Amino acid sequence: MLLSGMDIGSLKSLIYQRIHLLNNFTAKNQIFNVQQKTYFNEVLKKVREEEIQLSNRYDELTKDDYLSLDDEHRLERIKDLKMDYESLYGFIRYFEIQVKSYSNQIENEQTDLSSSKKLLGIK
């Protein structure tokens, strides 16, 4: 997905959706143990904190006193904020891939173990 054509509001929405999906995936996935879920939740907590900070910066950019700055400075700050949102989205996607890859690895190991038990006649 190309983020360069998206505005900040769309990026905010996309990030919120990805955080929500990741949170549901890790919470409902029965193959993760408590330690793994705790780690995933800690990372998601940090991501949410970063998203809140970016959201606060966005709110600051839309205040009346900020709008009085000249266009060049406003555009620079908006561009910086957008890059930070894109960076956060990139990290979320990376983390999402890591979580799903880890989930698939555990599932494959469980399948291999189950197959081995069947071959050996172990229940």
Residue type, 63: K
Per-residue model confidence (pLDDT) at position 108: 82
Q: How far apart, in whole angstroms, are the C-alpha atoms of residue 101 and residue 106?
A: 9
| Token digits of residue 93 | 């996607």
Enter the pTM of the model: 0.70
| Token digits of residue 105 | 């690895």
| Token digits of residue 33 | 């143990």
Angle in degrees, CA 50, 51, 54, rounded to 5: 90
Find out whether 11 and 29 touch, Cβ atoms under 8 Å: no
Give buried/exposed letters for 86-115 (b at 16+ CB in 10 A, else e).
bebbeebeebbeebeeebeeeeeeeeeeee
pLDDT in tens, 43-86: 989 999 999 998 888 888 777 666 666 778 778 888 888 899 99
Task: Quote the distance between the C-alpha of residue 56 and its chain's center.
Answer: 18
pLDDT in tens, 33-46: 888 888 888 998 99
